[in-house]
Amino acid sequence: MTRTKRDFGTIRRRSGGRYQAFYMGPDQDFHRAPSTFQTRADAEAWLAHERRLIQEDTWSPTRSRRAKVARTAEAFGPYAGAWLSQRDVKPRTRALYQRLLERFLLPEFEQVALRDITPAVVRGWHAGLDPHRPTQRAHAYALLRSILATAVADEILAANPCRVRAPGPPPGPAGSNQPPWTSSPSSWRTCPTGTRPWSCSVPGAGCGSGRWPSWAAPTWT
């Protein structure tokens, strides 16, 4: 076994002919490459990369990075299951979350690695949800966003890929300004103000700001 001295790190040629690289990090501990290298040039490239991370102040121990990579490779299904089990919520809310997971999220994301859930993937999934059921669509999206926000807090993801803009009020029947759940303008008077639900701004009415009031929300099937 031969050792080559360098201004940063050390490269050893092992008896089998492969090369091992290691260095002392800012934490005053030795850090080895996760595997040996076939050529000296490969070992030098790895050391150069580690040195650049230190110089750019973006370095972290190699063991921590390997653990993070392993976590980002975790599939959405197990992570979402653990997320739900850790929520301190009422049984009714837990049942709602479970129903949303089983019906809308797991069929699409169960086997997908967290790192592979990108904004484009989320947009495609969201676009495929039934636009005529805005409440369940919004609930499913909100649950996905909450789960992935926890993944960001856990430092598994760098950013939340849920970036879909909130949709405006769904269209009514063709050629009309009527709400989509009725064919009679007179039913607007079920709102306390007698206005269209999405334009109402009465505090507590639950009709304004683009939100669907509970009295008008479509039912699930």
For residues 134 and 167, what is the distance between their CA atoms, to the nearest angstrom?
9
- What tokens appear for 175 in the block? 């050629």
Res. 149: pLDDT tops 60: yes
Domain boundaries, the chain: 2-59, 73-153
For residues 89 and 86, what is the distance between their CA atoms, to the nearest angstrom?
9
- What tokens appear for 96 in the block? 């709602």
pLDDT digits (tens, 9 = 90+) for 157-213: 889 999 998 654 444 444 444 444 343 333 333 443 344 444 444 334 344 444 444
Q: What angle do CA 171, 194, 137 make, to 5 degrees?
A: 35
Write the CATH number of the domain with boundaries 73-153.
1.10.150
In sequence order, what are the beta bridge partners of 81?
none
Q: What is the pTM of this model?
A: 0.51
pLDDT digits (tens, 9 = 90+) for 73-129: 789 999 999 999 999 999 999 999 999 999 999 999 999 999 899 999 999 999 999
Which residue pairs from 78-86 have beta carbons closer than 8 angstroms and sit at least 24 positions apart in sequence?
Answer: 79/114, 79/147, 79/151, 79/156, 80/105, 80/106, 80/109, 80/147, 83/147, 83/150
